[in-house]
């Protein structure tokens, strides 16, 4: 190639470069192009080629407050009947709780729930009174106090029956103080169809169905 030809080729190359890669104010104008102006680069060059996004499920535990709202507690029961239905009666019982439930079963299984709770309350109150034994079983087995007893032995209970299930629930409720009894503070009771002489020296607190309660 001659010197003249090389010079012409160089000048042509510079002209093409100036056209493709402008500088100065024209370059700034391209950099500040408005959104309405198409990009000078092909779309394929604007998107990275090897980007992979995998969405994974995000599991967030519910706040403890929300979980508590979904599971009402025993103290939120609206009635004694509702509370009885909420109590877990399948848990194992110790001897003391069994004596309390047995007394409720034999003395008041035919009574309304409030009457059964009152009988349980009497036994609990006696166990806390110095005039009586210091345990539920001791109160129930005290001679001459509960006619269902056979000496110091409690008769066999028909477990698995609705009456026993209710008695167990009432015993747990009374033992834990989950519901206030109408006979709060009572340590004596008798059926309304009998008139024991000691009733004249006691303070009558309540009558619930067939039982009258005293302090």
Q: Using the structure block, give the residue that is written with the tokens 């006619």.
A: 147
**Band of residue 197 on the pLDDT scale cut at 50, 70, 90:** very high
Residue 206 forms part of a structural domain: no
Domain that holds residue 129: 78-182
| Contact (Cβ atoms closer than 8 angstroms) between residue 133 and residue 99 | no
The residue among 175, 184, 190, 177 whose CA lies nearest residue 205 is 184
Q: CATH code at 137?
A: 1.10.10.2520
Residue 123 forms part of a structural domain: yes
Instruction: Please tell me the predicted confidence (pLDDT) of residue 65.
Output: 52
Each residue of 78-129: pLDDT tens digit? Answer: 999 999 999 999 999 999 999 999 999 999 999 999 999 999 999 999 999 9
**Band of residue 76 on the pLDDT scale cut at 50, 70, 90:** confident
**Band of residue 7 on the pLDDT scale cut at 50, 70, 90:** very low
Q: How many CB atoms lie within 10 A of CB 140?
A: 24
Among 10-19, 117-126, 181-190, which stretch is predicted with the lowest mean pLDDT?
A: 10-19
Residue 144 forms part of a structural domain: yes
Q: Using the structure block, give the residue that is written with the tokens 């806390």.
A: 128
**Band of residue 8 on the pLDDT scale cut at 50, 70, 90:** very low
| Contact (Cβ atoms closer than 8 angstroms) between residue 76 and residue 178 | no
Residue 93 forms part of a structural domain: yes
Residue 59 forms part of a structural domain: no
Residue 122 forms part of a structural domain: yes
How many domains does the chain contain in total? 1
Average pLDDT score over the chain: 80
In Å, what is the CA distance from 173 to each residue of 32, 99, 106, 181? 78, 14, 17, 10
Residue 137 forms part of a structural domain: yes
CA 139 – CA 151 distance, rounded (Å):
13
Instruction: Please tell me the predicted confidence (pLDDT) of residue 27.
Output: 40
**Band of residue 35 on the pLDDT scale cut at 50, 70, 90:** very low
Residue 97 forms part of a structural domain: yes
The residue among 182, 178, 200 whose CA lies nearest residue 119 is 182
Instruction: Please tell me the predicted confidence (pLDDT) of residue 16.
Output: 43
Is the pLDDT at 163 greater than 60? The verdict is: yes
DSSP reduced 3-state for 211: strand
Is the pLDDT at 58 greater than 80? The verdict is: no
Instruction: Please tell me the predicted confidence (pLDDT) of residue 2.
Output: 47
């Amino acid at each position: 190639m001659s010197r003249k030809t090389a010079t012409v080729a160089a000048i042509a190359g510079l002209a093409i470069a100036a056209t493709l890669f402008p500088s100065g104010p024209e370059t700034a104008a391209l950099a500040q192009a408005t959104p309405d102006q198409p990009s000078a680069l092909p779309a394929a060059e604007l998107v990275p080629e090897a980007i992979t996004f995998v969405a994974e499920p995000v599991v967030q535990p519910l706040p403890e407050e929300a979980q508590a709202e979904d599971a009402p507690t025993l103290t939120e029961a609206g009635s004694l009947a509702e509370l009885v239905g909420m109590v877990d009666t399948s848990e194992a019982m110790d001897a003391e709780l069994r004596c309390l439930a047995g007394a409720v079963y034999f003395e008041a299984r035919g009574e309304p729930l409030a009457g059964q709770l009152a009988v349980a309350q009497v036994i609990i109150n006696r166990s806390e009174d110095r005039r009586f034994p210091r345990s539920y079983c001791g109160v129930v087995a005290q001679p001459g106090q509960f006619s269902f007893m056979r000496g110091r032995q409690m008769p066999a209970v028909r477990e698995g029956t609705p009456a026993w299930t209710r008695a167990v629930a009432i015993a747990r409720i009374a033992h834990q103080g989950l519901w206030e009894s109408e006979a709060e503070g009572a340590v004596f009771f008798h059926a309304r169809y009998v008139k024991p002489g000691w009733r004249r020296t006691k303070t009558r607190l309540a009558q619930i169905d067939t039982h009258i309660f005293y302090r």
